[in-house]
Amino acid sequence: NAGVMQNPRHLVRRRGQEARLRCSPMKGHSHVYWYRQLPEEGLKFMVYLQKENIIDESGMPKERFSAEFPKEGPSILRIQQVVRGDSAAYFCASSPPVIYRGRTYGYTFGSGTRLTVV
Amino acid sequence: AQTVTQSQPEMSVQEAETVTLSCTYDTSENNYYLFWYKQPPSRQMILVIRQEAYKQQNATENRFSVNFQKAAKSFSLKISDSQLGDTAMYFCAFIVQVNRDDKIIFGKGTRLHILP
């Protein structure tokens, strides 16, 4: 029973390039969350998705950032025209549907993707 | 707005000692879950302990226990008999309700060093 899988683990991009971060949730989990962690900071919520649906994107920058969770395949966080300030660790977490969460509730996190913009 | 505050950016204790990490939060809701997550140097986020707000009894997981004071909106983590492997960032977090779509809010973390 694999956990949340994120790839790549490390990603280096030059300014102006595009970064694509992938997240495969745990088996049976239909909800995906993306968080960003700047150096020496906590995790800041970015976006919450279900299959083919964005539930909450209140933490996403309005420009250059987008996220999707298609019917088939992993969730993708896409950053266009990256800048130095985008350098951070990006974490994906997953959870089961609301009705199944119960008392054991808590996200399962992936190991993160460290994005470095040079 | 819901917020989580961890007032201790960094702490150090000797191995085998007991250490308490503080956390306060703010919400107008009555039902919520509270969590402590550990992030070792490997960067993996590991759930340490959870507490349901409607339960008065403090949660315990082996050497980890919490002091949950709902009226004061305080949720501290106590680590007993600390071990070198406890060295990590510790994040306090909460989610307002689990029976509706919402997201976990994290504090900025406390960096804990266990000294040999």
Three-class SS of B48-105: EEEEECCCCCCCEECCEEEEEECCCCEEEEEECCCCHHHCEEEEEEEECCCCCCCCCE
Q: Is B8 on the interface with A (CB under 8 A)?
A: no
pLDDT band at residue A25 under the 50/70/90 scheme: very high
Between strands B110-115 and B88-95, the pairing is antiparallel
Token pair in block for residue B15: 């191995």
> Which residues, 6 or more positions from B54, have their beta carbon under 8 angstroms from its beta carbon?
B30, B31
Burial code (b: 16+ CB inside 10 Å, e: under 16) for B74-97 equals ebbbebeebeeebbbbbbbbbbbe
Q: Is A113 on the interface with B (CB under 8 A)?
A: no
- The verdict on a CB contact (< 8 Å) between B43 and A112 is yes
Comparison of pLDDT for A107 and A99, the residue scoring more: A107
Q: Is B108 on the interface with A (CB under 8 A)?
A: yes
**A91 chain-B contacts, CB cut-off 8 A:** 45
Token pair in block for residue A61: 């920058």
Q: What is the pLDDT of residues B21-69, one digit of tens each?
A: 999 999 888 888 899 999 998 888 999 999 988 888 999 999 999 999 9
Q: Is A39 on the interface with B (CB under 8 A)?
A: no
Whole-number pLDDT of residue B55: 86
pLDDT band at residue A40 under the 50/70/90 scheme: confident
- The verdict on a CB contact (< 8 Å) between B103 and A56 is yes
Residue of B50, B100, B106 lying closest to A106 (CB–CB): B50
Token pair in block for residue B66: 């919490």
User: Average pLDDT over chain B, rounded to whole?
Assistant: 92
Mutate to test the interface with A, among B54, B104, B111 (most CBs of A within 10 A): B104
Residue of A48, A102, A111 lying closest to B43 (CB–CB): A111
C-alpha–C-alpha distance, residues B56 and B65, integer Å: 13
Q: Is B69 on the interface with A (CB under 8 A)?
A: no
Q: Is B1 on the interface with A (CB under 8 A)?
A: no
> Which residues, 6 or more positions from B61, have their beta carbon under 8 angstroms from its beta carbon?
B48, B49
